[in-house]
Structure 1
Amino acid sequence: MNSKNEDFAFTGDTGDLDVLLNDYKLSESALRFPNVNSILIPKKAQHNLRRYCKSMLKNVDDNLDIAVEKCLVFLSNLASTYYTESKWKPLNAMLLHQQSKNTDNTFIYTKIIEVLTTGTSTGAFIEVDKSYQVGFESKKFRLTDTYLKAGLIEYSIKDAGIISTRNKLYYQQLSKAITNPICYNLIMMYQKIDLPTSEELLAIGRKLVKEGHTTKKNKILTMRNKHLNHYWVDVDNRSFVEDNIKLFEFLTSRGFMIPSAGDESSGGRVVDSFTLMPAWIREQITVDGKKLTECDYVALHPNIAMKLYDGSTNYLTHESVAERTGIELKKVKKLHLSFFNMKWNDMRRSPLFGYYSANEPDLLARIYHDKNEHSHKITSQKMFKLEVDIMSAVIRDLNAKDVYVLYVYDALMCEEKDRELVAETMNRIILEHGVKTRVKVNSSDLIESTFEPLPKYALDEMINLYDVLPQLSFDVEDTLKIISGIDRSIVEIAELVDYFTIQTSQQKYNDYDGVPITTSMISKLKNLIKS
């Protein structure tokens, strides 16, 4: 038998085996899925569990080997915290139950937590966040410093039952990914990309350090050179090349993560190996030997806030805010990352508050009332959801044209040959969602053609409602309702004015079921009319 197929396990008719061995595509198909047997665990964890925790492990399983492996699977959930600033990680109780339950569906994970928090004479394996409140979030855990300092090693699970459970969880996650447009697009993209080696990244990292490179979070890229954190006075303002490469290896060396969409709190944002990867490393990815180009929106979240909270500014940029406030551009970009997500009192202390207070007081008032009524997180939840809706629509449109892209939240990375199509699609679809911004490609040459200011119209001039209504902040659904109500899409500007007048009058009544028209929309319509 061909050596590369010796490890395959087959059942069924032997004729199937002949078909498989003679079909190249099918014979290599097993390579598409990662080895679920493999997990990353803290060094010495297996040894210490077996040697010092035997009596407690009986509460997990009568079979010592199975009990140890269930504890190791729990610890593997915390492997990612080796690469995050916060070492605390929330773990969903139902996931922990699925990972560890017996055939009779018995809850075992609480026994595992008891073993790991008790630990050995030298200390516990994990800590549990005591501030946990039932119903608000998943309970948080962290590895103790002893096991964080030890580092990670790869471990291959032996127990068939645990492997079977992990296979089921894997395929559950994969099936969810396939039905999500962003995740499906990523799975299709993965087969095309080539990654740099760690050695190549080290050389590139050294070069960037010499050039004074800073990250998107404005941290100084730095060579660690085996120094510990206390070597730098400003360690929190630095990002280390060697640490970045270790994270890259964690995310890619054993296969890519299955892309996964978040819950309501993240608006359904998708996370995968590439969204979690340092940007300077992600930029080294190639397809057919050529680097990808990045298309991202200009000041997306401030402009989404304008849409959601009926602001008056169109096409806001970080540069315009920096110019009006005198705040350094880099600082404005960083402040915008968190400004709308803050608690109200923290927003008031932000250097950006003065700008929005002077230029968008009504917008701030609406944000205040929303946060006050629904908690401060409501703003980010709404903004993330709209962002995901926009990116999902863009990706569906591109996939229909057989174009696949890497997704990085509010940006897409594509092949150079697809750059114009991706930018045009992003520009068109974001307008359909009523958000006024544009695409910036590779941090330079703005794609501006879609965004020429609208001309002024005489009352008897004809307009296309499909073009004009999105400019007045109507979304796709409301645009279609208005066109249906008027019964055509090409009208005189006077007819649109009459429609606004009638609808504004009618919406004062409780039984109004038409399209809501705000004072901001009326103001924008007035700006279209020649005086």
Structure 2
Amino acid sequence: MNFKNEDYIAFTGDTGDFDLLQNDYKLSESALRFPNVNSILIPKKAQYNLRKHVSKPMLRTIDTNIDIAIEKCLVFLYNLASTYYTDDKWKSLSSKILHQQSRNADNTYIYTKIIDVLTTGTSTGAFIEVDSSYQVGMQSKKFRLTDTYLKAGLVEYIINDVGIIRTRNKIYYQQLCEAMANPICSNLIAMYPKIDLPTSEELLSIGKLLAKEGRTTKKGKILTMRNKHKDHYWLDVKNRSFVEDNIELFEFLTGRGFMIPSAGDFHSGGRVVDSFTLMPSWIREQITIEGKKLIECDYSALHPNIAINLYDGSLTYLTHQIIAERTGIHFDNVKIEHLSFFNMKWNDMIKSPLFDYYSRYDSDMLARIYHDKNEHGHKITSQKMFGVEVAIMTDVIRYLNDKGIFVLYVYDALLCDSKDFDLVAKTMNRIILEHGIRTNLKT
């Protein structure tokens, strides 16, 4: 059936409009793209224990309908699902978001009642813990799952309550609107349909090979096959990154669709987070477009060179290799130290092996960093650097998108199709200089 343009305008809401939908390939395909917001991941046994062992009067303080009260508790627990894959099991949760997730039609604050239920728990213990060091107005309150539920693992749960599903739909589209208004996020959304992901089975084979070859992560951890062993099997477990755990994280990030990319607040300088920034780098390397792997375009020692610009340093085109050669510190150790050096408290910076280098070659810059940290707190340096980094990457991505080129963003690096590499590289090298940062892409 052929439709004229006026047929598209004639939607009335009548059931007859479904005839148009079913017979138009493009519209029919679009109807498959709505998010499944009723699917969440929760700790195993959490639903059973809430239903069987939690006080019914306590649950009714959340909602008179026990089923709805339980599902609101499960949505709260879902907020902590990502901590299964992080070293730090504590997670800050905004009271504003918690209220938005759980409020009733009359806008009643419910989330505090949910916290009461989950911290009280059952006769065998609580579901969550609350960080007692929380200070009003300083930061969002932190929560963690208790060990019982951390050890249990995650399981999918399908929400049934229409009201909760509608609330989650609103939140989803709100986040999507915010993402589309951000140049980095909208670029990522345009990039996602082109991406082909490896299977978990393929990743396991690749991971085994990389572990055998002695691959290390960017933080210097040794890629290791767990082979069903528990952490205590390794004396240096904190220095290892496990292939199987990495694959579980990959499945968490991509198994039910990609995260909506989200820009952070001023603390992170507006850095964007999505399924791919959070993905282990060796897995991200396996992403393909039309069977071809992406090429990474990465600035050389970007943050040290941003710091030099921000604090009127005298060094130019600084690289990790230059510092390694002048100090005798191994190149890999220089890279790892630079990941945290400028974010450290001043006393910790002094203890870093990099401090002597900067003290010798750019002591005036160090003095200005000291005064800034002393006046505004030790995180001010990294906050400023992240802000500059995001401004640079935003300008690069805007220019590339205007040329019809879309890229994967990983903070200070971009992953692109090989056919676009030359233009991406030239653009990154040009724009970094326009921002006054004297560095360029790694060769």
TM-score of Structure 1 vs Structure 2, range by shorter chain: over 0.9
Residue of structure 2 equivalent to 1:180: 182
Q: Shift of residue 24 of structure 1?
A: 1.4
Deviation by residue 1:487-514 (Cα, 9 ceiling, x = unmatched): xxxxxxxxxxxxxxxxxxxxxxxxxxxx
In structure 1, what is the Cα distance between the partners aligned to 2:25 and 2:246? Answer: 37
Deviation by residue 1:346-398 (Cα, 9 ceiling, x = unmatched): 11111110000000011001101111111111100000000000000000000
Residue of structure 2 equivalent to 1:224: 226
In structure 2, what is the Cα distance between the partners aligned to 1:398 and 1:15? Answer: 43
Q: Which has the higher contact order (CA 8 A, sep 6+)?
A: 2
1:101·1:108 contact (CA, 8 Å) conserved in 2? Answer: yes
Q: How many residues align?
A: 432
Residue of structure 2 equivalent to 1:527: none
Name which of 431, 437, 440 aligns with 1:438.
440
1:41·1:153 contact (CA, 8 Å) conserved in 2? Answer: yes
Residue of structure 2 equivalent to 1:22: 23
Residue of structure 1 equivalent to 2:256: 254
Residue of structure 2 equivalent to 1:42: 43
1:196·1:285 contact (CA, 8 Å) conserved in 2? Answer: yes
**Letter in structure 2 aligned against 1:367:** I
- Once the two structures are overlaid, the 10-residue window that deviates more, 81-90 or 10-19, is 10-19
**Tell me, which stretches of 5 or more residues in structure 1 are unaligned?**
1-9, 441-445, 447-531
Mapping for residues 322-361 of structure 1, pairs under 5 Å: 322-361=324-363
Mapping for residues 360-399 of structure 1, pairs under 5 Å: 360-399=362-401
1:34·1:254 contact (CA, 8 Å) conserved in 2? Answer: no
Q: Shift of residue 245 of structure 1?
A: 0.2
Q: Shift of residue 11 of structure 1?
A: 8.4
Deviation by residue 1:453-490 (Cα, 9 ceiling, x = unmatched): xxxxxxxxxxxxxxxxxxxxxxxxxxxxxxxxxxxxxx
Mapping for residues 202-351 of structure 1, pairs under 5 Å: 202-351=204-353
SS in 1 for 2:194: coil
In structure 1, what is the Cα distance between the partners aligned to 2:270 and 2:117? Answer: 34
1:37·1:157 contact (CA, 8 Å) conserved in 2? Answer: yes
Name the TM-score, length of structure 1 as normaliser: 0.81
Residue of structure 1 equivalent to 2:53: 52
Cα RMSD between the aligned structures? 0.9
**Tell me, which stretches of 5 or more residues in structure 2 are unaligned?**
1-10
Deviation by residue 1:316-374 (Cα, 9 ceiling, x = unmatched): 00000000111000000000111111111111111110000000011001101111111
Q: Shift of residue 26 of structure 1?
A: 1.2
Hey, which bits of structure 1, 4+ residues long, moved more than 4 A?
none
In structure 2, what is the Cα distance between the partners aligned to 1:274 and 1:235? Answer: 25
In structure 1, what is the Cα distance between the partners aligned to 2:228 and 2:152? Answer: 16
Answer with 1 or 2: which has the greater Rg: 1
In structure 1, what is the Cα distance between the partners aligned to 2:41 and 2:12? Answer: 31
Name the TM-score, length of structure 2 as normaliser: 0.97
Please tell me whether residue 429 in structure 1 is matched to residue 431 in structure 2: yes
In structure 1, what is the Cα distance between the partners aligned to 2:245 and 2:417? Answer: 28
Q: Shift of residue 220 of structure 1?
A: 0.5
1:174·1:258 contact (CA, 8 Å) conserved in 2? Answer: yes
Deviation by residue 1:67-97 (Cα, 9 ceiling, x = unmatched): 0000000000000000000100000000000
**Letter in structure 2 aligned against 1:17:** F
Residue of structure 1 equivalent to 2:151: 149
Residue of structure 2 equivalent to 1:107: 109
**Letter in structure 2 aligned against 1:73:** V
Please tell me whether residue 123 in structure 1 is matched to residue 117 in structure 2: no
Mapping for residues 469-488 of structure 1, pairs under 5 Å: none
1:292–1:111 CA distance, 2 compared to 1 (3 A): same
In structure 2, what is the Cα distance between the partners aligned to 1:424 and 1:273? Answer: 27
